[in-house]
Amino acid sequence: MSEEPTDTNENSETLDNSQENEEIETVNTNQNFSFVAYNEDICIVGAKGSGKSYLANTLLQSFHGINVWVWDLNHQFHDSRSIVCHSLNELLETWKMAKRGKYILQDYNKSEEQFRKFLRAAYQTGNVVIMIDELHAYTTKMKIIKEYNDLVLSGRPRGISVISISTRPASLPNNALTNCKHVFTFRLNLESDVKFLEGWLGPEVWQVVQKNKRMKHQELDEVPEHSFYYRNMDESEGYIGKI
Ligand SMILES: Nc1ncnc2c1ncn2[C@@H]1O[C@H](COP(=O)(O)OP(=O)(O)OP(=O)(O)O)[C@@H](O)[C@H]1O
Ligand SMILES: [Mg+2]
């Protein structure tokens, strides 16, 4: 765990800046992975059923003493230490009293308007890790949600980490990838998705496509089931891992 205080909150007037960054090193991939909550972002992409929510749940369960709000569109999250809410109001009311903890929001209202309200509330709150499952339900490359953009572009000084989860990397807003430090790519079936990711992650990412589904890089192996190609964007190369 890091003992360093958050140094990026200096310009924020509305937030309690006393909270410390928490460095998580407990996620059990087959190699080293460490995540600085309230400071770094994560993207998790992969086809349906490839293991994205399973990984996200493992991350959530490893976050001890960290504030987390999960937008759980399809009820894929479970964590005995998290409070499950069925409306944004319920989450905000509970938060107002506790001012801490982990919350899984399985909102009955799944509209874009409600999703925007959730993001706005997170932005105003600060010092929280926001996990968004099924982001592709709301954004496309052409359709960027302002509130999401605000979180990704200006969340860090407010102590906000964003964990974005999507089946379609090609529909992730560019800002999501350019600003994120950790990228987990599970199996993908569409060449167009991988071509897009190759620009960010390098040719090694072709390993997430089965050999019989790819025209390029036949020399690369394919990742086993429920495995991912992980890249820390500050490092020169990635690795294959599994939870
Ligand atoms: N590392 C793993 N070990 C064992 N089982 C796994 C692992 N990863 C995923 N699974 C299982 O595979 C199934 C699909 O995983 P998961 O729900 O995480 O997929 P997903 O990528 O979130 O899919 P979707 O896009 O449909 O939400 C689940 O039943 C899950 O328990
Ligand atoms: Mg899922």
Residue nearest to atom 4 of ligand 1 (CA): 226
Please identify, by atom number, the ligand 1 atom nearest to the C-alpha of residue 54: 18
115 part of a folded domain? yes
168 part of a folded domain? yes
83 part of a folded domain? yes
Domains identified in the chain, total number: 1
Report the DSSP beta bridge partners of residue 232: 182
Distance 59 CA to ligand 2 centre (A): 14
199 part of a folded domain? no
Distance 204 CA to ligand 1 centre (A): 23
Q: What is the dihedral of CA 37, 12, 135, 62, to 10 degrees?
A: 20
13 part of a folded domain? no
Structural domain harbouring 142:
22-43+51-186
Distance 106 CA to ligand 2 centre (A): 13
Token readout for 180 is: 């994120």
Distance 223 CA to ligand 1 centre (A): 15
Residues 6+ apart with CB under 8 A from 105: 69, 70, 71, 72, 85, 86, 88, 91, 118
- Residue 174: what pLDDT? 83
Residue nearest to atom 8 of ligand 1 (CA): 51
Q: How many other C-beta atoms can be found within 10 angstroms of the C-beta atom of residue 48?
A: 8
50 lines ligand 1 (CB under 6 A): yes
Are 51 and 228 contacting, i.e. CB atoms less than 8 angstroms apart? yes
159 part of a folded domain? yes
61 part of a folded domain? yes
- Residue 23: what pLDDT? 58
Which CATH number fits the domain that encloses residue 139?
A: 3.40.50.300
The low-confidence residues of the chain, meaning pLDDT below 50, are 1-18, 25-26
15 part of a folded domain? no
Ligand 1 pocket test, pick from 27, 29, 226, 227 with the greatest ligand atom count within 8 Å of Cβ, gives: 226
